[in-house]
Amino acid sequence: MSDPMIGLVLLGLLMALLASGVWVAVSLSLVGLAGLVFFSNAPSGLVLASTFWGHSHSWALTALPLFILMGEILLRSRMSDDMFTGLVPWLSRAPGRLLHVNVFGCAIFAAVSGSSAATAATIGRMSVPELTKRGYPESLILGTLAGSATLGLLIPPSIILIVYGVATEQSIARLFIAAIIPGIMLMTLFASYVAVRAWMNPDLIPAIDETFSFREKFRASRRLIPVALLIGGVIGSIYGGLASPTDAAALGVVLATILAWTSGAFSWKLFGEAVMSATRTSCMIALILLGAAFLSVSMGFTGLPRNLAAWISDMDLSIPALLVALTIFFIILGCFLDGISVIVLTTSIIMPMVSAVGIDPIWFGIYLVIVVEMSQITPPVGFNLFVIQGLTGIDILRIAKAAFPFFLLLLLGVLLICLFPQIVTFLPTYMAS
């Protein structure tokens, strides 16, 4: 059987398994097993056992459950409320006023949680009732929350960047560093969109009755100090070369626990809930990564990635043409799968292609995460849309419509890093030198 036919058979099997409701990890493993049994001479049982064992004790992967636990602790503490209260006085006079709380609140919480869904749930729980009560338009409330919460995938410590780093054997610290400027760029695009909408139609934004003196703003800012300490401790230790991402994750859990206890709104019961929730999420991701690792190894035995890369190289396809095709492919895939599944399903096939045309894997990781961010706000499987629907009870299509401008802004972000790759590569290159 020819390579294209083998690829189509395995892809069809994978789609059939996923459509029938089989777990992603099991689906990946079964497809990998089918590839070994029917299209290679490798001992399938031995390869399966050695791959699962070899990838089950990855030191780099240790950071993942720790960062997830840190986010779960913060989700149940009073620090998120303090962050909201500290931002309001400073943003009340900005164009768009308190809508910027969604943008900057999501950016800040993303920097300490690493999860898009946790960011949407935490900030949405505080901002949606408050902004609705003050008379802000529903479309902008939902759009800014859904769009800005996607920053949880990009701004370090990003769970999905850890997954990409483990799956492609790239430096997680370099990926974190590379994500800083793109994260700031997207946050600026979102805030600029809100400001432009406010300038174009001032009637959209309700007048604000409260005025804050500088002393009141300064006093409110003190509530941001715990969050700043946590971000500085976790991210600063990585960028300063004092700790690896895994060490920084452990530091983050300790700091988050201390700050949560001192806030007075944390208990042993909430700590137990945080541990159990982090365990469930970590086990799910770990199983998916094991299945993806086995699929990647089995594809290597079939020779499909190598032959596909050679085929792409023979086509002499330009990098822009390849990136346009990949962007469309990932957007379509993201309509049906969550971000982590997209990463682990595609890296074993895509990375040889990417390497064949000379694309920097660190740059490609940031590009891939931004494209995957779009999948968080595209139906039918947009995780942020489900989270916000659960918070508000609003129809998911209305939420998706409100988030569509931010989908376009993410697409603009992809275009900008393609035209100016230095946005991604400058900091890793500078730090290395």
Tens-place pLDDT, residues 294-311: 877 887 787 776 676 566
Whether residue 81 is contained in a domain is answered as yes
**What tens digit of pLDDT does each residue of 129-172 get?**
878 887 888 889 999 999 998 888 888 878 889 889 988 888 88
| Residue 27 domain-assigned (yes or no) | no
Work out the percent of the chain whose per-residue pLDDT is above 90: 16
* pLDDT for 7: 75
Please give the Cα distance from 391 to 406 (Å, whole number): 20
- Ranges 147-156, 352-361, 419-428, most confident: 419-428
So what's the pLDDT on residue 132? 86
In a domain, 365, yes or no: yes
Pair of tokens at residue 208: 């604000």
Identify which has the larger pLDDT, 115 or 106: 106
The rounded distance, in Å, linking the Cα atoms of 140 and 143 is 5
* Placement of tokens 């699929």 in the chain: 295
Nearest CA-CA partner of 144 in 377, 422, 394, 427: 377
Task: Tell me how far apart the alpha carbons of residues 224 and 218 are, in angstroms, rounded to a whole number.
Answer: 10
pLDDT digits (tens, 9 = 90+) for 214-251: 677 777 777 777 877 887 787 778 777 787 777 888 88
Tally of domains within the chain: 1
Instruction: Give domain status of residue 18, yes or no.
Output: no
**Parent domain of 131:** 53-432
DSSP 77: S
Answer positive or negative: Cα dihedral of 334, 290, 36, 33: negative
pLDDT at 68 over 90: no
Q: What is the mean pLDDT of the chain?
A: 82
Q: Is the pTM value of this prediction over 0.85?
A: no
Residue 348 binned pLDDT confidence (cut-offs 50, 70, 90): confident
Mapping DSSP to helix (H, G, I), strand (E, B) and coil, where does residue 338 land? Answer: coil
In a domain, 47, yes or no: no
23 in a domain, yes or no?
Answer: no
- Residue 283 pLDDT > 80, yes or no? yes
In a domain, 420, yes or no: yes
pLDDT at site 183? 92
pLDDT tier, 340 (very low <50, low <70, confident <90, very high otherwise): confident
Q: From CA 406, how far away is CA 120, in angstroms rounded?
A: 14
